[in-house]
Amino acid sequence: MGYLNNVTGYREDLLANRAIVKHGNFALLTPDGLVKNIIPGFENCDATILSTPKLGASFVDYLVTLHQNGGNQQGFGGEGIETFLYVISGNITAKAEGKTFALSEGGYLYCPPGSLMTFVNAQAEDSQIFLYKRRYVPVEGYAPWLVSGNASELERIHYEGMDDVILLDFLPKELGLI
């Protein structure tokens, strides 16, 4: 079933497994256990759903391979839904709120609730992205805004003083006043 690493079929080893799911706690999906999902609006893409509320998560996230001209032109997100896109490899063009973003490896785009994002592969070779969406939980008096950047430009923070645990803040720490 692992379409990304071409390991398909049934396991032959007694202790081999494709995935471990502890509902409401965690899901561990190995590359051998990734399956292609057909998702409306995603054209010329291979998409894997990594987490969903059916597994106990409060969000949905995806691993998507965009083939030549592949993408989502219908829109990802919507009313009450916040979304995040991260480019793992390749180059894509994303649009949101009337703006166009050329995103390469490490590039990201956050869309606040109510904003639809569209995206398309901007190269002949495959591009790979991570997508995330969840129902937005509002904080009275504050509202999020559109954010884009690249991980290579972010400050590396040693988490709690540990040299081997690096934190990147993709989104601003300040709250957006209404």
Q: Which domains does the chain have, with CATH numbers?
A: 36-167 (2.60.120.10)
Structure confidence by residue, pLDDT tens digits, 28-70: 777 777 788 999 999 999 999 999 998 889 999 999 999 999 9
Look at 9-13, 24-28, 92-96 and tell me which has the smallest mean pLDDT.
Answer: 9-13
- In 3D space, the residue among 43, 11, 48, 4 whose CA is nearest the CA of residue 27 turns out to be 48
Q: Could you write out the DSSP letters of every residue in 57-93?
A: -SSEEEEEEEEEEEEEEEEEEBTTEEEEEEEEESEEE
The reported pLDDT for the residue numbered 62 is 97
Whether residue 23 is predicted with pLDDT greater than 90 in this model: the reply is no
pLDDT score of 128: 98
* Contact between residue 53 and residue 77 where contact means Cβ atoms under 8 Å apart: no
**How far apart are the C-alpha atoms of 36 and 78, rounded to whole Å?**
24
Of 20 and 146, the one with more pLDDT: 146
Token representation of residue 115:
């904003």
